[in-house]
Every structure is written in C-alpha cells, then in structure tokens.
Amino acid sequence: MASKVSKKDNSEDTTPEQKTSKLKVVKDFLLKHIVKVILLLLVIVVFIWSRIQISSLKSDFNQQKTEITKKYELKLDSLNIARMELTAKTFSWAVRSELQRQNKEQVELFFYDFIKSPQIEKLQYINSDNSTIELSTNKKEEGLIATSDFFKTNDQLTKSDSTSFKIATPIMGLNKKLGVVVIEVKKQ
C-alpha cells in the first residue's frame, strides 16, 4: 500500500518544466489542427446562435398567437352580441303584441320557451310605470324593484361583463313605453 501512495504523490508533484511541456503539447496540437479547431468553434457559435434565434422565434410566435386569440375572441363576442341584439329586438315585438292584448300568460310561455336556449341565462320584463319586475324566469325576482338603469332606456342597450352580457330592449306602445325586456346571455 505504501508503494501506491508514493505513486500518487509522485504523479501529483509535477514540476514547472512538466507543466510547460504539457502546455507546449497543447499549443502544438492547436497549431497543427488550427482549421479543425476554428471549424469546431464556428460550429459551437452557430449552434448557440441558432438556439437564441429559435427561442426568439418561439416567444414571437407565442405573442402573435395570444394577440390573434384575443382578436378572435373579441370578434366572436361582437358577432354573438349583434346576433343576440337582433334576436332580442324580434323577441320584444312578440312580447309587445301579447302585452297590448293583456296576455301575460303567453309572454310567460315565450319566456320559458326562450330560456331553453343554451346561452340564455335569464329573462325579465320590467314595467316602466313602477320599475318593478313583472315577469322573470327567476320567480324570486318577480315583484322586486329593478335596481339597474335598464328600465329607463328608450333604445336597445347592451352591457357586458366577463361572463355574460345583458340586452335591454324597450317595449313601446302606441303613445308610451310599456316596459323593458332584459335578456341575460352567457358568453361562450
């Protein structure tokens, strides 16, 4: 065992001449193979540069993808709102004709049939004379005073939040406003 320890000690003890000779060997190797070393360094630089370019392209792609997705969602929401506004206007005509005939039972049937649509969350008819909710798909709300400004509108009004939007369509009689139909629609 003593001989093994002495061999390790001898190998660790290198003289300055041996260090310079090792450096000389490395230097001679590099000089003999300068073209190969330059090509190897060039390959390493190109590899690093390509990795940087790829990561830059990925981040640009993700940013563009996010922007396109947002634009698509906004366009889809605006198309959905426009479609529902037209539907609400047509629905309000049917409600108007039944209210002028004092046929609230038929209006309730319209509401219950319309609420079956997958996007429709809630329907209300707000009487403009006393601001009360006269008809609603949520029976707990009937008879309550409307707190929103929807019943004051004379034009179709749309309010949107993160999960749904509400469309208020006034029901106009011959000489006065009868009320407002409020349709709450969930966003897709």
Domain ranges of the chain: 57-186
pLDDT at residue 90, as a whole number: 92
Q: 83-124 pLDDT, tens per residue?
A: 999 999 999 999 999 988 989 899 999 999 999 988 899 999
**pLDDT band (50, 70, 90) for residue 177:** confident
3-state secondary structure of 55: helix
Q: pLDDT higher for 19 or 175?
A: 175
pLDDT digits (tens, 9 = 90+) for 21-35: 888 888 888 888 888
How long a stretch of residues is the chain?
Answer: 188
57-186: CATH homologous superfamily?
PAS domain (3.30.450.20)
4-63: pLDDT as tens digits? 544 444 555 567 777 788 888 888 888 888 888 899 999 999 999 999 999 999 999 999
- Model pLDDT, residue 13: 59
- By DSSP bridging, strand 164-172 and strand 177-186 are antiparallel
Task: Give the CA diameter of the chain.
Answer: 118
* Residue range 116-147, pLDDT digits in tens: 988 899 999 998 888 888 999 989 988 888 88
Name the nearest CA neighbour of 91 among 111, 106, 75, 73.
111
Buried b (16+ CB within 10 A) or exposed e, 23-32: eeeeeeeeee
- What gap in Å lies between CA 92 and CA 171, rounded to an integer? 6
